[in-house]
Structure 1
């Protein structure tokens, strides 16, 4: 099932996809349907316990082709960094490109949503701890990059720079997360294509790795990295990150003076 979180008619609602519409799960409105174009899409995560993300973990250089693109040797252990949940925005929202930067690019990523508390999980049991999957666009601003192996805060933790959604797809509905096609278009032109099969460290390995030294909680996110093919996105770019069976995440790049508009969306 595809789950969404939306703002509609002055309130926030949980919803599911039914016959090309959003069916509300709100008590008193349960079963009512609204159109995709009639709502504001929010990150498909519950902002309150027990499913609020405490940790947002991301991977650098976790695709072999992306490592080749950067002329790097694939890492021997996961190159991970933490992100702030405050950087998350929803489907069809706007992302601010800071004034004066020369290279800001998207990163289409499979995002793993943890479903139950995970500590010292073995790889063979890892998928038992996954609630589902969504699409993430982990924007990076190369102008601020100090080290490809450990992106700094200004690169990866900016407000509006991590769109996710539109759906949270149940794990049971994704037969093999390691065989999914990824694609990004910018203004309708395909600029990135890849497959999760090219990950250096697969989903199960990442869950085993992170849970070996920290506790993962329901709602926590793991952003699993991006394939090669990232390009600079100027103001006005319409960026669509799509993952097979998970969804197509739409996003628009706006300028700094439009920050208030971006955050309002």
Structure 2
């Protein structure tokens, strides 16, 4: 067996709520503007156009507890609470009807966004990578297997900062369902066990400051809580 020239990176993983085992993270897909209310607050038309996606590095996913560092290069860090979908079966060109069979479980995550960096990228027609894919930009709670909760399609999704409500919506407000999202992604790239999908955020995204405490949850899946540290 060949040896690596440098130490091999640690395999990113997410806790599982009902087991001591962990879920390995392969790829992280994120759905843009999947709630009409959020599309409107970002100045976009919420009509049901084909979904679009961006990605985060797998090691951007970190436990959604303890302390999350306030990132560099920004003075406008935003929170975006999302239901996270964990893929457990491989597939390519998966149909909407078959898509639920590829889901391993669900969790609660936050798409942290350097909004000022994103706004500048939009103005210059540049990619969003630096705004979305920085270190610790994907806090994620423990995953719950489908066998425990089925496939949630309704239920409150919410986020509070320092006890004050910021985001509130319902999973039934998603423009594109989980099955439709999986079908759309797999029409372009093969999905595989270990993939995570951040499925979009409701309205109410706003800035976080050093010292803030974030709590968030999705009914029937779970809750998360973490603190934001000082500016790095």
Question: What residue is the counterpart of 2:66 in the other structure?
Answer: 93
Residue number in structure 1 paired with 2:134: 158
Call closer, same or farther: CA 1:192–1:150 in 2, change over 3 Å. Answer: farther
Contact 1:98/1:256 (CA < 8 Å) preserved in 2?
yes
Unaligned runs of 5+ in 1: 1-11, 18-22, 26-43, 46-51, 258-265
TM-score, L = length of structure 2: 0.85
- Once the two structures are superposed, the pairs formed by residues 70-81 of structure 1 within 5 Å of their partners are 70-74=42-46, 76-81=49-54
1:66 counterpart (38, 49, 60): 38
**TM-score between both structures, scaled by the size of structure 1:** 0.75
Structure 2: which 5+ runs fail to align? 1-12
Kindly state the Cα deviation for residue 70 of structure 1 after the two structures are TM-superposed.
1.8
Distance 2:127 2:200 in 1: 13
Q: Summarize deviations over 1:14-43 as a string: whole Å, max 9, x none.
A: 7754xxxxx756xxxxxxxxxxxxxxxxxx
> Which residue of 162, 172, 180 maps to 1:187?
162
Does the 8 Å CA contact 2:35/2:174 hold for their aligned counterparts? yes
| Alignment of 1:243 onto 2:218 | yes
Displacement, 1:172?
A: 2.8
1:151 Cα deviation after fit: 5.7
The change in CA–CA distance for 1:215 and 1:143 in structure 2 (over 3 A counts) is same
Does residue 1:133 correspond to 2:106, yes or no? yes
Measured in 1, the distance between the counterparts of 2:190 and 2:66 equals: 31
C-alpha contact (below 8 Å) 1:185/1:239 kept by paired residues: yes
**Relative to 1, partners in 2 of residues 1:171 and 1:13: Cα closer, same or farther, differing over 3 Å?**
closer
Alignment of 1:116-265 (within 5 A): 116-145=89-118, 146-147=121-122, 152-165=128-141, 167-257=142-232
Measure, in 1, the Cα distance between the counterparts of 2:101 and 2:126: 30
- Cα RMSD of the aligned pairs, angstroms, is 2.3
Does the 8 A contact of 2:87 with 2:195 survive in 1?
yes
CA contact (8 A) 1:95 1:253 kept: yes
- Kindly indicate whether structure 1 or structure 2 has the higher relative contact order, using CA contacts under 8 Å at least 6 residues apart: 2
Are 2:14 and 2:25, in contact at CA under 8 Å, matched by a contact in 1?
no
Quote the Cα distance in structure 2 between the aligned partners of 1:150 and 1:13: 31
Cα distance in 1, alignment partners of residues 126 and 174 from structure 2: 18
1:18-33 to structure 2, matched below 5 A, reads 24=20
